Chain A
């Protein structure tokens, strides 16, 4: 499937542009280092844009490919364990991207960091330790976040994609296509940074792919931050084991989840205006 191959290519572009960005980023001065990269480093804004667009493309490609697989009913071609690990690629991709968002260090990233620390802490038994492991201790720098962004989640994303696609590396043609698309997007739409502190009374928005969860947390308890995604993953994962009405019911549940998520995103955007 061409979509899957290009998605793997986008992951490769995100990985290599991330490696190129790493020397310019500082864990203790995240925002300042990125402002310098954006404003004073030749082609810095472009490199950052390539990294951002390829990573967003990877997430969108993963979602679109999942939809394609479910639409064509080809999930049964994968062994159950491989299917479940492929479904796990979705949260892994989101966590990898979220790490990149937090590494901006601006007011939006600081707010998202505080919220994700609470969401992680709400996981029973090991929540607080999990938050410390993934996000570092409150008040500390962003080194643990960057480690998991560039290491843990990127490595996991690569392994899961490689296993799903049955190939360790993306093919050259798909990678070139992914790179060209990322270059074009980065050139056309510069990726900006947020303000260092929240503007008076304004609502800060998290990353676009998590706006639905941010909207849900206006009303629901904090545990919804991990319970809602878990419900979606279980519904999608179980599709591999269901036929007929059960399969249709699971797909309807996932579709309703997606529609609800979009509605919550829209509601938050309207509230922020």
Chain B
């Protein structure tokens, strides 16, 4: 009986040390405030031409449409809890997690989301663009 108690005592002590170490690491990282890295998605000219022809397409979490020379790009990350929204028939987007709805311009038409879909910054990249998401 006492050996079992000893074992559990040792196990709790080990778990406590591990939790303290993990907690220190977590707190250290949190206090250092490491920013999330910016992500870049290449939008080559062929993809932009196809998006223009097809009236819009989804590429690496982005919705791309409009003229290839000046495309409209929306980040398909729901502004509520960051689920991936999907285009719906008839235009616009819907979130599969909590049913937020956005119109084709990314504006909220039904909650719980309250902010529009993000529009990444576009920088020229050869004949195409790079969409930068933060």
Please, which residue of chain B has its CB at the minimum distance from the CB of A163?
B8
A-B contact count (CB 8 A): 83
Chain A, range 34-91, C-beta contacts under 8 Å to B: none
Contact partner of A200 (CB less than 8 A), chosen from B4, B7, B22, B89, is: B89
Of B26-34, B48-56, B117-125, the one contacting chain A is: B26-34
Cβ 8 A contact of A118, one of B26, B36, B81: B81
Enumerate chain B residues within 8 angstroms of A156, measured Cβ to Cβ.
15
B88 neighbours in A (Cβ, 8 Å): 200-201
Chain B residue with Cβ nearest A82: B8
Tell which of B83, B88, B94 has the most Cβ of chain A within 10 Å: B83
In angstroms, Cα B96 to Cα A271, docked, is 11
Q: How far apart are the CA atoms of A48 and B98 in the complex, in Å?
A: 29
Which of B4, B87, B94, B98 counts the most A-chain CB atoms under 10 A from its CB?
B98
Which residue on chain A has the smallest CB distance to residue B82?
A: A114
B130 to chain A, nearest CB (A): 17
Cα–Cα distance between A197 and B11 once the two chains are bound (Å) = 42
Residues from chain B with Cβ under 8 Å of A128 in the complex:
30
Task: Tally chain A residues at the interface, Cβ within 8 Å.
Answer: 38
Q: Is B30 a contact of A115 with CB atoms below 8 Å?
A: no
Q: How far is the CA of A167 from the CA of B29 in the complex (A)?
A: 38
0/1 per residue, A83-119, Cβ < 8 Å to B?
0000000000000000000000001001100110111
Chain A residues near B (Cβ < 8 Å): 107, 110-111, 114-115, 117-119, 125-130, 132-133, 138-139, 156, 159, 162-163, 166-168, 197-198, 200-204, 214, 217-219, 222, 271
Which 9 residue pairs are nearest across A and B when measured between Cβ atoms?
A198-B96, A204-B96, A129-B29, A129-B30, A126-B30, A118-B81, A129-B26, A201-B88, A114-B82
B residues contacting A by CB (< 8 A) are 4, 7-8, 11-12, 15, 22-23, 25-27, 29-30, 36, 39, 81-84, 86-89, 94, 96-99, 112
In the complex, given contacts A110-B84, A111-B97, A163-B8, what are 18 additional A-B residue pairs having Cβ atoms less than 8 angstroms apart? A114-B83, A114-B97, A115-B83, A126-B26, A127-B30, A132-B29, A133-B25, A133-B26, A156-B15, A159-B15, A163-B12, A166-B4, A168-B4, A168-B7, A200-B87, A201-B89, A202-B96, A222-B81
Interface CB pairs A-B, < 8 A, 29: A111-B84, A114-B84, A115-B81, A115-B83, A115-B97, A117-B82, A119-B81, A129-B25, A129-B27, A132-B29, A133-B25, A133-B26, A139-B39, A159-B15, A163-B8, A163-B12, A167-B4, A168-B8, A198-B84, A198-B86, A198-B96, A200-B87, A200-B88, A200-B89, A201-B86, A201-B89, A217-B112, A218-B98, A218-B112
